Structure 1
Amino acid sequence: MTDRHPLSGPEPDPARDAGHADPPPRVGFFTDTSVCIGCKACEVACKEWNALPEDGLSLTGMSYDNTQGLGASTWRHVAFIEQSAPVEPSAPAPEGRTRLPLLDGEPEPAGAAGELRWLMSSDVCKHCTHAACLDVCPTGSLFRTEFGTVVVQDDICNGCGYCVPACPYGVIEQRPSDGRAFKCTMCYDRLGAGQEPACAKACPTESIQFGPLDELRERAALRVDQLHEAGVPGARLYGHETDDGVGGDGAFFLLLDEPEVYGLPPAPVVTTRDLPTMWKHAGAAALSLLGGVALSFAVAGRGRR
């Protein structure tokens, strides 16, 4: 156990820093969106294992998505993003696909409407290295597990809601019925029994991969290189850098477009990073104010003499 609890910067072992004397290797999720088929098996498995209430069946009219986003009752959310991009006549067909000509035998002209593609991504709590939700919780309801994940103990949550605006990803949410906060636990109960989380277990394409975080990062880097060689230049990793604004995510992603397309912040920063500086400035301001008040009383006292 270390004697420091940093709010930002490098943090190689968050579980040990949280007080776990001999923690196992940190585990996490690597979600490869390039092989996600949008089946929502992860959503169903998450709800069934964690006994989460249903979200309703109202469609937005903008996609096939009925859960719309992460929340207190949706700990895994599969996003459906429809894109149409121009196709150059000379552009090769993606690996494993055949590009058919138009009916008259002519190739599609450059700048035409192009092909339609779906970007599908199973989103989840990022289990940040520097978790602002954990930093601001006044009851200890949020805690860091021995696996490096962040879990909410809903039975001691007082419903204050401080964690909701603290999350840079907008993941955690209060349940309207009682005000308590909920989010993904990475199936902490299953991890303790040596099992993988329900969502990863149910994923039929291995889009959701679970395991030691260092191993997943190596696997993800190889996958990006593979996609680049296959003619997918837009493939990139998100949340894998250990020196980013949250110290790296315990759940990171391979994306095929910019993070904003998937509704993810391009450069997330832990919202409690500047708390020490803010308190320092607040203390200096308070001392200045007290000094001014004391000086005014002293001047007033001399005036009465």
Structure 2
Amino acid sequence: MRSRFFSGPEPDPAGDAGHEDHPPRAGFFTDTSVCIGCKACEVACKEWNALPEDGLSLTGMSYDNTVGLGASTWRHVAFVEQPVPEGRTSLPLVEPGPGTPDPDAADGTGMRWLMSSDVCKHCTHAACLDVCPTGSLFRTEFGTVVVQEDICNGCGYCVPACPYGVIEQRPSDGRAFKCTMCYDRLGAGQEPACAKACPTESIQFGPLDELRERAALRVDQLHTAGVTEARLYGHDPDDGVGGDGAFFLLLDEPEVYGLPPEPVVTTRDLPAMWAHAGIAALSLATGAALSFALPALTRRSGRT
């Protein structure tokens, strides 16, 4: 059963996909404020899913060797280096002792790192799933979106459909690949490999509703501590994709991390497009019928 909706809040994506008596929707909450850029998630993801290497040397863009998400990179740690802005800049994780200079002095002369482990968002309204002609993409009982690589025909429709630019075709065979949220591990009652390997619990896995509550408390904690720029991204069921199954706590604007500020599911306007197409087809049919009927009526009236 395909989704009944193309946009807006959807409380039960798995149930709408036909899964009965399914477990709570699972998801990721990535707290970038405690990410240390160790790349343990990247390594664990590649090892568990047997992904081919796609970057053994530094790119010249910071310490990044994979650049972004792709068919062979399902977790990507972004390293964003930026000048320290005026005002509050450093997280209150360790307070400097007496006489210890603050390396992130708020005089605008320092630098800071913003690190974030990016992943497929497992959207509530997944355009990649909606446009797939073979059924290769499907909604699991956990509410996640998975690609069946043995069914994918390499048409590539899913690639431009994704509002985040996550899914990609592998050049070697043309099939599309992306994060599965370790579907095989979930079925065995285990958490995904990336969350298991994260040493700081920057990547947290669990029921999505619980993660949203935990994330809201974390934002309040940071705001109380003076980190007023902390915000959540992808958590809102009223956003353009109906809320993400993988959402983030960010310390700057989404664009700084390479994320779209206001993502919208690309199939949102399909019902309106079909309605317009139907009206256009009806207009053409009416015009064609009149083009044949009017001459006949004219000839008939002339004989009388």
Fold shared by both chains (TM-score > 0.5): yes
| 1:250 alignment partner in structure 2 | 245
- Where do 1:49-88 residues align within 5 Å? 49-87=48-86
Q: Deviations over 1:96-153 (max 9, x none)?
A: 2436289xxxxx8x8x542200100000000011111111111110011001100000
**SS at 2:28's partner residue?**
strand
Give 1:286 deviation, angstroms: 1.2
Matches within 5 A, 1:256-295: 256-295=251-290
Separation in 2, partners of 1:4, 1:152: 17
8 A contact 2:3–2:17 mirrored in 1: no
Deviation of 1:94 after TM superposition, in Å, equals: 4.7
Corresponding residue of 2:204: 209
Distance in 1, matches of 2:219 and 2:42, equals: 25
Matched, 1:240 2:240: no
Q: How do 1:1-305 residues align onto structure 2 when only pairs under 5 Å count?
A: 5-87=4-86, 94-95=91-92, 96-98=94-96, 100=101, 113-301=108-296
Matched to 2:141, the amino acid is E
**Structure 1 residue 29, shift from structure 2 partner:** 0.3
Contact 2:168–2:178 under 8 Å retained in 1: yes
Q: Tell me the SS of whatever aligns to 1:249.
A: coil
Aligned-residue offset at 1:246: 0.8
Q: Distance in 2 between matches of 1:48 and 1:258?
A: 32
- The residue type paired with residue 154 of structure 1 is E
Letter in 1 for 2:109: G
CA RMSD of aligned residues (A): 2.1
> Do the aligned residues in 2 keep the contact of 1:236 with 1:254 (CA within 8 Å)?
yes
TM-superposed deviation, 1:5 = 1.5
The CA deviation at 1:57 is: 2.3
Secondary structure at 2:164 match in 1: coil
Query: What's the offset of the Cα at 1:257?
Result: 0.3
Quick one: which amino acid aligns to residue 187 of structure 1? Answer: C
Q: Counterpart of 1:154 in 2: which secondary structure?
A: coil
- What do the CA deviations read for 1:207-247 (whole angstroms, capped 9, x no partner)? 00001111111110110011111111100000111111111
Contact 1:87 1:115 in 2 (8 A): no
- Structure 1: which amino acid aligns with 2:32? T
Q: 2:158, 2:41 → 1: CA distance?
A: 25
Q: Deviation of residue 297 (structure 1)?
A: 2.9
Note the residue ranges of structure 2 that are not aligned, 5 or more in a row. Answer: none
Structure-1-length-normalised TM-score: 0.91
Alpha-carbon separation, structure 2, partners of 1:80 and 1:300: 72
CA gap of 1:151–1:226, structure 2 versus 1, over 3 A, is same
Conservation of the 8 A alpha-carbon contact between 2:3 and 2:13? no
Q: Shift of the alpha carbon at 1:302?
A: 5.4
**Contact between 1:26 and 1:148, CA under 8 Å: does it hold in 2?**
yes
What 5-or-longer segments of structure 1 have no aligned partner? 103-107
Residues 257-285 of structure 1, C-alpha deviations (whole Å, 9 max, x = no match): 01111111111111111111100101101
Report which stretch shifted further, 58-67 or 173-182: 58-67
Task: Kindly state the Cα deviation for residue 160 of structure 1 after the two structures are TM-superposed.
Answer: 0.7
1:166 CA displacement? 0.7
For residue 218 of structure 1, give the secondary structure of its aligned residue in structure 2. Answer: helix
- Count of paired positions: 295
Could you tell me which amino acid in structure 1 is paired with residue 18 of structure 2? G
Letter in 2 for 1:40: K
Distance 1:202 1:273, change over 3 A: same
Identity of aligned residues (%): 82
Q: Is the 8 A contact 1:87 1:114 kept in 2?
A: no
Normalising by structure 2, we get a TM-score of 0.92
